[in-house]
Amino acid sequence: MTDMIPRLFGTSGIRGKIGSEITLNLITDVGMAAATYVGGKGRKAVIGYDTRTSNKMVENAIIAGILQCGCDVIRLGMVPTPLVGYAAMKLNADIGIMITASHNPSQYNGIKLWNPKGMAYTQDQERTIEKIVHEKSFSKVSWEHIGDIKDNSSIISGYMDDLLNNVDIKGGLKVVVDCANGAGSFVSPIVLRKAGCEVLTLNSQPDGFFPGRMPEPSEANLSELMKVVKATGADLGIAHDGDADRMVAIDDEGKMADFDKLLALVSSKIGGKIVTTVDASFCVDKCMKESGGEVVRTKVGDVHVAEAIVECNASFGGEPSGTWLHPDFCMCPDGILSALKVIEIVEKYGPLSKLLNEIPSYPTVRDKIECENIQKTLIMEKVKEELPDYFEDVNDVNFIDGVRISMKDGSWVLIRPSGTESYIRITLEGRTVEIAQSIRNKSREFIEGIL
């Protein structure tokens, strides 16, 4: 029955262009649905937002919906996403709501929902919200039971203190932090300074137009950060996305840390059982095996990683994109805590460039092809039917998330639709650069042939 209900949630919340895909009517309906879901009268929601120009408008719309169903609201103001998850847990809220489009451009906005444990809503919970919105089955209250609004900014200092208590950093490293003019602009530099680091900042003045760089922390967008790290002799650089639930690192040589190698490094130092996604490199498995740990793989998306962490009682989980979860702190992805963890490792074990060079390299390619959302289902049906026969020496076919083809030599390719943008994503790993390039070309040829 729920298969007939339109999807609102992607791999990381509801997200789209303001005015067309994300309308104020939709936002108000989501607010009413969220309040209805948690029980309405007597319940409370914590709400934060990033720096986007549409955020206060969206906040007002979602609060209007929440109040209509009798739920109280605690406004946190402009804060990073991980602080919303933390606040939901610490303030005993029934739901956490973050208004953000994460790494998407300025014209986008969206909503992420968190449960009282600071964990992203599961797929089943998201489908329930979608069902309430679709059926308009809101539990509205009469005028005398409308919810109340309070502000709470003091939770920020508690969050920073708890972050610092979660790591053992003596201090002294020079760190350049680039916050993308996003929600981490205040908190991240302050936390790093409190940890004893000498901090230089880039793009750390909040601005929803993202004038310094686009909020996606990709190599193309971080050229300035890489130059500054090298020019100033910094020990490393840290870059966040728009809402600071992600972190990527620049090593001491001014080079962007390989996503998979960085995940493998941190995973091996934390140890135990860790969770990662189907698109992560084999180097994660190799490093965990050497350290006596175990790897569990799941679908792409921090929601799936969080569910798997709980299910198998893992010590850590993360995606190669830099979205990492630290379950001993909070079940919300936290780019600021991830930065502290990397700093702690560099302080204890040596330069980041040296640590990453010790991890085996397998040429990895991440590519994407533009594809309208309405085309994705048809294209992926074709991929499932035809891709396994398109490659030679296929050893395994996995449908856990999209289609992943593994070859006998250990190379693999994953084709899946983006859950947040109008793309078909291609992720692959080859035993040599030539093999990786060949797989990429063949995969693009296959998808473009369908399109």
389 is in an annotated binding site: no
Whether 54 is a known active-site residue: answer no
Residues 132 and 161 in one domain: no
Is 185 within any annotated ligand binding site? no
Domain boundary among 314, 329, 357: 357
* Cα–Cα distance for residue pair 393/407, rounded to 1 Å: 6
Is there a single domain that holds both residue 113 and residue 247?
no
To the question of whether residue 260 is assigned a binding role by annotation, the answer is: no
CATH number at 216 reads: 3.40.120.10
- Domain match, 341 and 392 both: no
The string of pLDDT tens digits covering residues 287-316 is: 999 999 999 999 988 889 999 999 999 999
Last residue of a domain, one of 341, 357, 373: 357
241 is in an annotated binding site: yes
Mind giving me the DSSP string for 128-176? HHHHHHHHT------GGG---EEE--THHHHHHHHHHHTS------EEE
Rounded Cα distance between 24 and 306, Å, is: 30
CB count within 10 Å of CB 186 equals: 16
Q: Report phi then psi at 78, rounded to 5.
A: -80, 110
Task: At 445, list the tokens.
Answer: 């040829």
Judgement on whether residues 179 and 106 belong to the same structural domain of the protein: no
pLDDT tens digits for range 173-226:
999 999 999 999 999 999 999 999 999 999 999 999 999 999 999 999 999 999
Compute the average pLDDT of residues 152-164: 96
Residues 17 and 63 in one domain: yes
142 and 161 together in one domain: no
**Residue 65 vs residue 449, higher pLDDT:** 65
Judge contact between 278 and 398, C-beta under 8 A: yes
CATH number of the domain at 379, please: 3.30.310.50
- Tell me, yes or no, whether 270 and 413 share the same domain: no
**In the prediction, which pLDDT does 392 show?**
87
Range of the domain at 387: 364-450
Q: What is the pTM of this model?
A: 0.89
Selected catalytic residue, list 12, 54, 102, 281: 102
The pLDDT, as a whole number, for residue 93 is: 98
State the average pLDDT over residues 357-386.
91
pLDDT at 143: 95
Q: Which of 153, 174, 205 is the last residue of a domain?
A: 153
Are 302 and 370 contained in the same domain?
A: no
Same domain, 410 and 278: no
Same domain, residue pair 168 and 272: yes
pLDDT in tens, 52-61: 999 999 999 9
From 175, 190, 176, 165, select the one nearest 80 (Cα to Cα). 190
Same domain? 236 vs 369: no
Number of domains in the chain: 3
Same structural domain, 149 and 166: no
CA atoms of 337 and 335, how far apart (whole Å): 6
- DSSP character for 220? G
- Taking the CB of residue 319, how many other CB atoms lie within 10 A of it? 25
**For residue 292, how far is the Cα from the chain centroid?**
27
